[in-house]
Amino acid sequence: MAILGSGSGGNAVFLEAAGTRVLVDAGFSCRELEARLAALGVDPAELDAVLLSHEHSDHARGVERFARRFGCAVAATPSTLDCLGLRPGGGLRVRPFENGGSFRLGKWRVVGVPVPHDAADPAAFRMETPEGSVGYALDLGHAPQAVCRLLAGCRAIIVESNHDLTMLEEGPYPRELKQRLRGPRGHLSNGEAAAFISEVATRETRSLVLAHLSRTNNRADLAMLEAHRALGRLSSEIRMTVAEQGPGAHWIEA
């Protein structure tokens, strides 16, 4: 897998397993997605699908143009497709899925579960591949039991670690925005992410990616410190990466 970029400026993750290639979220312009994939040597025309977690622009900005241009299907819940005005036709292929159920994507089985976030029907994913499972949970105000169960024991886990609570409190954001971010339908703090990680990481887990860090209200070292503490003895066995916003994606073996 490779994180093309993550944060409020755009999110996209490229995953390849068992010959199936998927872009999870497409929160950059089509041109930027192309450039970031090209830097990895990935031909966008070989993608099987773009899987969308929700309609916010930092996750869906380039999806329509990208999917039309390269002929890959867009998999998303009906509400997410609706919000983005994505309907099949004119070269666009859509794959609606019910949040809470499972569906096939190439050689994978994907399970989506609703997450608490201020979007129409946002989802976290467990992507079960013949080479192991990958969990993806970005943009959630808190982690309900169903999401913990979904990601438990995944080989690779990509999870939001949005803000350090103290930095957010003392930072420059207006009060309403601070409330939204730390609210139950906003974003996970480092502490919440760490508690979540301690529940879902197991001896099967090889790789952990902390993602969607706030540039203003977080620092990579703080997020990693809390995650390491939460993992305890497992932390020496799990490769931990902090996803960056800018270009310069690198491969992460899961």
* Binding site residues, Zn ion, CB under 5 A: 56, 58, 139
CB atoms within 10 A of CB 229: 13
CB atoms within 10 A of CB 8: 18
Cα separation of 228 and 237, whole Å? Answer: 11
- Nearer to Zn ion by C-beta: 56 or 61? 56
CB 212 within 8 A of CB 160: yes
Question: Cβ 24 to Zn ion, closest distance in Å?
Answer: 12
Cα separation of 109 and 183, whole Å? Answer: 32
| Beta strands 207-211; 12-17: pairing state | unpaired
- Nearer to Zn ion by C-beta: 128 or 139? 139
- Nearer to Zn ion by C-beta: 32 or 139? 139
Question: Cβ 18 to Zn ion, closest distance in Å?
Answer: 28
Question: Cβ 54 to Zn ion, closest distance in Å?
Answer: 6
For residue 175, give every residue at least 6 positions away whose Cβ sits within 8 Å of its Cβ, in sequence order, or none.
none
Give just the sign of the alpha carbon dihedral 92, 85, 9, 159.
negative
Question: Cβ 114 to Zn ion, closest distance in Å?
Answer: 13
- Nearer to Zn ion by C-beta: 116 or 153? 116
- Nearer to Zn ion by C-beta: 48 or 58? 58
Question: Cβ 32 to Zn ion, closest distance in Å?
Answer: 16
